[in-house]
Amino acid sequence: MGKVFRILVSAAVILSFTGCSDNDEPGGESTYIPVDGVSDIVHGNMVYVMDFANDDEKLVEVNTQGEVDVEIPDDSPLAFTRIKEDDKNFIRVSNRLPVDRNIVMVPVKVAPKGCPSEARNIIIVAKNMQAAERGNAGRASGNAMLSVYSESLGKGTVCFNEVGNTTESVILYDRLSELGEKYVSVNTTANVEKMFEINEATSSSMMESYGVNVGVNFKKAAKANFLLQEKWIDKYSVSGSFTFGIGETFKESHDYEYYMNIYTVRKAEVKILMDKFRKSNNNPLPDSLFLALVNPDYIRQIVTPKDATAFNAEEFLNRWGTDVITQAQFGGRCLYIYGRKENVYEHSLAVDASAEMTGSRPSGSGEGWVFIYTSKNSPYIKGSFDVSYKNSSYNSASKAVSYYDCVGGNMNDNDAAKWIDGFNDSSQSDKWSVIGYRLSSDVPSKDENDPDWSLTQIEDIGLNVVNIYDTMLGDRKTPKDSAAIKRVTGVLTHLSNERVKYMEKHSRASVAKSPIVVADFIMRDGKNGHKKGEPSSFIDKDVRTGEYRIYYPLMANKFSPYDVGYAVETTQNDYYPAILDNVDHYWYYSLDHSSECDGIVDIKFVDDTPDYYYRRGDDALPGGCSGQKNYVCLKFGDSETPDSEKIKAIGLYKRDDKSGTFDPNRIFASTGGSELRRAHTQREYDKWHEWWNSGASYVKTQWNEGGFSPKLKIWPCYSTKPLDESVDIRDVCHPLKWGE
């Protein structure tokens, strides 16, 4: 193309147009007066894309009321004449000669009469030039390459919204597909199933993993920098995370944990060979055919602003998107996410996720997703088990959320196996969807400074246009052309920077994990004879907010006189005389994150409830005995209570009337996260002892107080110090069940 171009321009025809005459005869010298007073003679344009499928002529507006000189190749198949409409001057472009190709590119130099220093070159890209093509521009609609691929390839997309979302066509795929595999690589032999899982993740880390999986790594995003037409890429890390169109269901707070499963069936991979259009050391002459493939509206919007300040980047990004889909995987994808508030559950997150999937999406007749996950050896999802615990109260107390989305294929009756098998039916290929942008051949760079990005940034399309324009003109560039190149490059630099700001604007900032605190503490009577099954966790409403909470029994540690490793029960002989042991006392606690509750600031075992305290549970009398009728009385915090004042752990303490100093070895049971584990190591004991011994205190109010002499008198103790950083509350040591 370049060689032919040089031959064509070696002999040129120069025409003079006057803004007032009806013919092409020169009308004398004139002074260049821009109509808008700002732009150059062609209003800043570089490329005009003209489709002659349905019209025989097109117009190019010139920015003057005076005469213009037009220089064109002498064997140009296009004819140029002057026309004036509504007090505006135009160059009329028409098809004058038959050609043997469908796309013709003609360089045209336009200058105000007598002002060669104001000359500008434009590239006229004429499409549908062959007679057989004209009137049949839509004939490719039945092409196989235009089926599901045309719905996505070449279109703009917002990188942080739903995978496969599209805006407008930036690259016109119908024209591209006509050019065949020289410009589009299509692999329809892929038939790969893949399962990706992540467990116990925060919302931000989960969605970051999702982005990496589909080909947009926001921690290694691409940020372009321009110096004229030279470009280099820096890694850019977006500070927040995105939901990919899933919605606001998932909280950014690190107080929540999530399980995610992405199951994909990859059937095809399609890629526009963008390297052919990019200028580089390996490709100094990018293919000029790209100018015929880019949406003319896109080109017009980036080349016409007088400078970067006149370019509305946000409006542009809203219309075209942040990136262009130039490659994609097609097939089907099932995305399942389950989340809950982090706490001291008896069931793991993955077990909850399994129960939720089993209960909410049972397979009508075939094999459901739980079967598929387990058959693929998921280390998290479990098969058949009792899911009755997973009721509405449990979901409310755990703040459970779930998300399920299946795209591509034909899902019926939650029959996952049938859905997967359906992709082997070629007649259903029209049901394939975009499932990701990263191709199987793409290997992420191990260099932390290299971007990990499978989309084409929206400004890259403009840079390709500028570089091809520059390459086609070569030495024929005028000073005004160079100024235009510099101006448009400035617009693209501005767009690149604003694209990053646009992403940041729509990202969600992570919320740091708040401290674990004791939300409630209760003593409840149980049936006498605790080895018959009691106690167990239960769900009840919060005394202040009415929200559901899960309560767990305290575990007796090695300093307890009875039932070490099981639930502590305080009506046995060392606590009360045997004659009074006709009811069982069980102790329960509920934990929460400080951001989710007001917490507790004090605890007493007293009969008369002090002001601003609440009685929690049953009284201390085992039944019928005389004595002080004490209760657990709690003083709750409020929305203004600082975390430093909220109680992080409560223990049952053996009363000590002698030493007067706090001794952790007198704690025989304590709330989750502060418990002394069963079969603990020396290191675990030392850490437990050190934590309780620094800042904890007891409260001199006795639980089992009255007209008898218990051997073990119980005080409450507590600490407002944050739990040890090494403590994972998901691994709390719950009491054994009888028989275990």
pLDDT in tens, 612-664: 999 999 998 875 555 668 999 999 999 999 999 999 999 999 998 888 899 99
More confident residue, 661 or 18: 661
Average pLDDT, the chain: 87
CB-hemisphere CA count at 13 Å for 41?
27
DSSP letter, residue 25: S
Q: What pLDDT is attached to residue 645? A: 98
Percent of the chain, pLDDT > 70? 88
The pLDDT of residue 646 is 98
Model's pTM, two decimal places? 0.87
Task: Return the pLDDT at 577.
Answer: 73
Band of pLDDT at residue 250, cut at 50, 70 and 90: confident
Q: Please state which of the ranges 73-87, 126-140, 213-227, 424-438 shows the lowest mean pLDDT.
A: 126-140
What pLDDT score does 665 carry? 97
Cα 626 from chain centre? 63
Which residue from 126, 127, 113, 125 is spatially nearest to 62, judged by alpha carbons? 113
Alpha-carbon distance 503 to 492, whole Å? 16
pLDDT digits (tens, 9 = 90+) for 255-271: 999 999 999 999 999 99
Q: Categorize the per-residue pLDDT at 145 as very low, low, confident or very high, splitting at 50, 70 and 90.
A: very low
Q: Span 516-731: which CATH code?
A: 2.100.10.50
pLDDT band of residue 6 (cuts 50, 70, 90) is very low
Rounded to whole angstroms, the Cα distance separating 650 from 296 reads: 70
Sequence ranges of the domains in the chain: 2-127, 139-506, 516-731
Name the residue among 296, 368, 671 with its Cα closest to residue 516: 671
- Categorize the per-residue pLDDT at 52 as very low, low, confident or very high, splitting at 50, 70 and 90: confident
- What is the tally of helices (H) and strands (E) in the chain? 13, 31
- Phi, psi dihedral angles at 28 (to 5 degrees): 95, 175
Distances (CA, A) of 623 to 393, 453, 574, 630, 705: 32, 70, 17, 13, 14
For residue 382, the model assigns a pLDDT of 87
CA 652 to CA 669: how far, in whole Å? 5
Query: What pLDDT score does 457 carry?
Result: 94
The whole-number pLDDT of residue 8 equals 26
What's the average model confidence in pLDDT over 456-480? 95
Say if residues 601 and 650 touch (Cβ distance below 8 Å).
Answer: no
> What are 381-398's pLDDT values in tens digits?
988 888 999 999 999 999
Would you say the C-alpha torsion 671, 672, 675, 679 has a positive or negative sign? positive
Please give the pLDDT value at position 412: 82
CB 611 within 8 A of CB 517: no
Q: How far is CA 338 from CA 211, 357, 360, in A?
A: 17, 9, 12
Higher pLDDT, 354 or 365: 354
Give the span between the Cα atoms of 41 and 403, in whole angstroms: 56
Residues 722/515, Cβ–Cβ less than 8 Å: yes
pLDDT greater than 80 at residue 162: yes
- Looking at the structure, give the CATH architecture of the domain made up of residues 2-127: Sandwich (2.60)
pLDDT digits (tens, 9 = 90+) for 677-722: 999 999 999 999 999 999 999 999 999 887 677 889 999 999 999 9
Q: b/e per residue, 284-316, with b = 16+ CB within 10 A?
A: eebbbbbbbbbbbebbbbbbbbeebeebebeeb
